[in-house]
Each structure stands twice: as C-alpha cells, then as structure tokens.
Amino acid sequence: MATLELRDIRKSFGGTEVLRGVSLDIADGEFLSLVGPSGCGKSTLLRILAGLESQTSGSVHIGPDCVDGQRAADRDLSMVFQSYALYPHLTVAENIAVPLTMRRLRARDRLPLVGPLMPGAGARRADIACTVREAAETLGIAHLLGRKPGQLSGGQRQRVALGRALVRDPAAFLLDEPLSNLDAKMRVHMRAEIAQLNRRLGATFVYVTHDQAEAMTMSDRIAVMTDGELLQVGTPDSLYDDPADIRVARFIGSPAINLLPVETGSGGAILLAGRDSGLRSGPLPVAHIGIRPEALIPCDGPGLIAGRVTMIENLGSDLFVQLRAEGLAETVTLRLPSEARGKVAPGDLMHLRARPGRARGFDSMGQAAPLRAEVTTDA
C-alpha cells in the first residue's frame, strides 16, 4: 500500500509531445480514474507510472521513494491489461502463480526437471500454491485453476488477470481499460466487483478508461485528461456539478450536457438567442452556458428555452426528450421522469427553464466562469 506521485511528467515520441507536464498525487488506498478520449495520453501516463515506458522529463514517486530509473519489475506494482495478457500455454493456476514464482523462487528453483529437487523449493512451491488458491477463491475462480486461458470466457479471463495482479499484495494496482473487451452486462457487473475489491483490499488503484460511466461509478477521484494535459482532478460529484473546463463538462455525463452559446450584454446580462435569459455573469464574460439534461424543467410561460420536440428516447426509468430550440443551432436534451411517458409527443412545443443554481458558465477559452446568483425569469 502506498501513495503515488507524478511530478510534471512530460513525454515526447519523436517531435510530438503526448504528455505536457502532468502532476498528480494519489492517496494511499484511493481509487483514481484517469479518463479521457482515446489518444489523450492516459495509457502512456499509466505505463510511465508502471515503469514500462520512461518519461522524457519529470519524476515518479511511489511512497517516499523516487523510482525514476527503476525498472518495472522492481517497482512493486501490479497491472491489468486491456488484452488481459495471460500466458496462453499456462493453466490459470500457473498464470496466477507467475508473479510469485518469479519473486519467491530462486533462479535455480525454477529450472525445468531439477528445479523441484532443490532444497527448500518444495516448501516454497507449496506455499505459492496455497496463496494462489486463496486469490482464486477471493475472485470465485477456484474451480477454473486447471484450465487454460483459451478455455475461459472473457469475464473469467478478466478475473484471472485480476488474480495475477492481486496475488502478490503490491504497492498499487494499475488497470488499463480492463473492461473494454467485455460485453455491456459483464462490464457493469465487473465494475461493481472491482470497486468492491478496492474497498476490501484497501489498496491504491489507478484505473484508466475512456468510459466516463466507469469512472463515475467506481472512483474516489477522477482525473480528466485531454491532449496530454490534466483538465481537472476531483470527485465524481464535483466534476459533474462544477466542471472547471468546457471539455470536462462535455466529457462527463451521459447524455451529454447542453452547452448553449450566449452573449454577455451590459450589466452582465446573459443573452440567449438575443433574449435576456435572466442569468447574470460574474466578473468574467460568459460565452457558453452548460445545463445538465435533468436540470431543465418544463414550465408554462416563456422560460429560458422554447422548442419543438424532435425525438423521445424512452429508457423505462427515464425519458430523454430532444428539442430543436428557437434561435439555436444545437439540439437541447431534457430528462423527464417516467411519469411523463405518453404526455409528450414529437412536434409539441415546450418551454423550459433551468433549476436554480444548476446553470454553469464558461468563458470564450472554455474555462469555468461563475455566474451571479440568478434572477428567476419565471415565477
């Protein structure tokens, strides 16, 4: 168990800089997700943390020690790969045992034929077999120990990969998109299981994913990356409610946040499609306002937005309604409770207002620009 610290990590491949000074502190026992669109450098960052790749500049610390120049095998970290990277010719038991045989057995104990005859090797091997069985039981794969990876389903392989990672009690676990090869149902199941594992082991987890839903459901904190930079690091709630950057707002949340272009008039009045929205900007001029689909509510009179319903997505528990708003190029998405089923139809005209305190402003550079306390437009 240990803290992890990345200080101003930069990485260039040839002339292209894929990481531009990333600094991140990860607390002991924390579940931190690195999310971002593909190609944003999150996997590279994880591999630098693991020691599989070296940074161009910056330093990596595990616990109190700087581990720069230390190879991956010596860093005492475990990693789960997207492809699982199981050894296909070894059984599940042998796969899980590899980290232990490589660390606990001496080179001469591992020799074929004569290895088992070395003094003490038998006892060490028995000890390893026992640890492997415990790890397998933790993950519910004890009945599969004799099989080869080729005979397992995706979910089972995933568990074997996890078993190989946790059998050795490492300083931290690094997981590189471990669920992306599973089907949707298995993914939901495994993400709960991995989050539970984190709590039970009390170990530090660094989890790389491009799926914001995984990050939201599992993490203590999320670090959002784009183009080799960290945009924001925070709890799932803070990222969802108070994104510091318009790209974070866009990335987090499904369906996506409604981002509407606005103009800031005299006195800070925010004009949406030329009309006073009732929102007032703070010290910074506002170029966009972001409102989550559930923060919009229908109202009778003219509200913030008026538009015609173009599409209704019925999820059973919720209803997502898309509107083409007057004077706006963007479609607006609105979430309604299931009771609204049958009460809206495509073509209906709807007036919407924002729940108080739920609209967020962004300046022309995409940075958060706080709004002043709102004046309600509609009583």
Partner 1 sequence: MRDASTCQPAAIAGPSISPPASARPERRQARAGAVLIAPALVLMLLILILPVIVAAVLSFTDYTLGRSGLGWVGLENYADIFTRSSYRKMIAATVLYVAVTVPVSVGLGLGAALLIRAVRVGADLYRTVYFLPVMASLLAMAIVWEFALHPSLGLVNRTLEQGCGTGLELWPWYARGCAEGFPLWLSDRDYALWTLAFIGIWQSFGFNMVLYLAGLTSVPRDLYAAAEMDGVRSGWARFRLITWPMLGPTTVFVVTISTIRSFQVFDTVEALTHGGPAKSTYVMIYAIYEKGIAQNLVGMGAAITVLFLGFVMAISVAQRRFVERKVHYA
The contact set with partner 1 (CB under 8 A) reads 47, 50-52, 71-73, 77-79, 81-83, 85-89, 98-99, 102-103, 107, 110, 148-150, 164
What is the C-alpha separation between 206 and 48, in angstroms, rounded? 12
Cα–chain-centroid distance for residue 242?
Answer: 17
In angstroms, give the least distance from the CB of 48 to partner 1.
Answer: 13
Q: What is the dihedral of CA 78, 81, 84, 87, to 10 degrees?
A: -60
Of all helices (H) and strands (E), which one includes residue 206?
Answer: strand 204-209
Distance CA 356, CA 376 (A): 8
Shortest distance (Å) from residue 88 CB to partner 1: 4
Smaller CB separation from partner 1, 172 or 306: 172
Residue 198 makes CB contacts below 8 A (sequence gap 6+) with 29, 31, 173, 205, 218
Burial of 37 (0-12, 13-18, 19+ CB in 10 A): middle
Whichever of 55 and 322 has its CB closer to partner 1, that residue is: 55
Report the distance separating Cα 281 and Cα 94, nearest Å. 62
Q: Which of 296, 289, 263, 273 is nearest to 361 (CA)?
A: 289
Q: Name the residue nearer to partner 1 (CB basis): 73 or 192.
A: 73
* Smallest distance from partner 1 to CB 18, Å: 18
Q: Which is nearer to partner 1, 85 or 273 (CB)?
A: 85
Minimum distance from residue 82 beta carbon to partner 1 (Å): 8
Q: How far is the CB of 38 from partner 1 (least distance, A)?
A: 17
Kindly tell me which of 94 and 220 has the beta carbon lying closer to partner 1. Answer: 94
